[in-house]
Structure 1
Amino acid sequence: MVLAMAAEIERDLISKRTTEALAAKRKMGIKLGRPKGPGKSKLDPFTEEIQALLNNGSTQKFIAKKYNTTPANLHNWMKKNKIKRLDLGG
């Protein structure tokens, strides 16, 4: 029981120290967290091919499989690069 109380006190002290250290870094203007990635995608070299496939009626699922990625990743990549299926409307 005594050890449990000591552990809880130590945990609170660690939390307080961490919070204070992060606040100090923010105050100094240091950016916290994971750095932003390069923003490159393995789909970038295939932009024209993917656009052509979309315009020819291929599904996103088919295209994702062809380029060894997930449909969700393809969708996010298309959104980021503002790639849309052309409406060939009849």
Structure 2
Amino acid sequence: MSKIFTYLRINKNNKSYTKLQEEKIINYVKEHNLQIYHNIEVEINTPSEEKNIMELLKSCQMNSTLLVYDLNVFGRTVERILEIVKFLLESKIRILVIKQNLDLVDNNDMLTKMILGMISMTIALDKELMSLRTKEALTAKKLKGESLGKPKGTIQKSKFDKQRDKIEELLSVGLSVRKIAKLLGYNNHIGLNNYVKKRNIREQSSSLEELAS
């Protein structure tokens, strides 16, 4: 029989879930009279720490078996779970999942293929539903007369901001936006022209020269 590893996801903010994993794994091992080769424990308290899962699971040996309580221990999104499950199966690691009663053998196993297909469908469906919820929420706001997007008059950051002083200086000596764009290395003067207009830079400068055609 292949070497059996157990995997435990530890979260200090959810100690009851950690304890539940421990109890279920211990009971499963006793019930099936399994010999555990090594216990893998990963502490994950924030979503950003989930990247550590992949590194630690690399310690599992090829042709070994990984015993977990449920699929949720691999991630907090379906996409993350699918990513790690695929990684393990491609590494020839069998996955036993207690809660969902799953035995994911390898990529060539028909049942495993069906399960992975269902997970992929869930991801696609979730994205589609999220898109629909967003559209419906925006439509509802529009029907209520609420404004969408940023408040009118909001000025966003621009790539031209870092050279604003230089732009103002060149405008004040009478250079056109087209020439300023060329001088400062911008390929298209139209963007700079819009930048100058929206921020009333020309009015703030001492130059009254019209924009070149």
Aligned to 1:87: 208
Cα distance, 1:24–1:58 mapped onto 2, change above 3 Å: closer
> Quick one: which amino acid aligns to residue 140 of structure 2?
K
Aligned length: 67
Cα distance in 2 for partners of 1:78, 1:71 equals 11
> Quick one: which amino acid aligns to residue 191 of structure 2?
N
Aligned to 2:164: 47
Gaps (5+ residues) in structure 2? 1-131
User: Relative contact order (alpha carbons < 8 A, sep ≥ 6): 1 or 2 greater?
Assistant: 1
TM-score normalised by structure 2 residue count: 0.25
Cα distance, 1:80–1:31 mapped onto 2, change above 3 Å: closer
TM-score normalised by structure 1 residue count: 0.52
Structure with greater strand share of residues: 2
Cα distance in 1 for partners of 2:208, 2:199 equals 18
Structure with greater helix share of residues: 1
Per the TM alignment, residue 82 of structure 1 is displaced from its structure 2 partner at its CA by 0.9
Cα distance in 1 for partners of 2:139, 2:208 equals 53
CA contact (8 A) 2:170 2:180 kept: yes
Q: Is residue 2:196 matched to residue 1:75?
A: no
| Moved segments of 4+, more than 3 Å | 21-24, 27-32, 35-38
Gaps (5+ residues) in structure 1? 1-17
Which protein shows a greater Rg? 2
RMSD in angstroms over aligned alpha carbons? 3.4
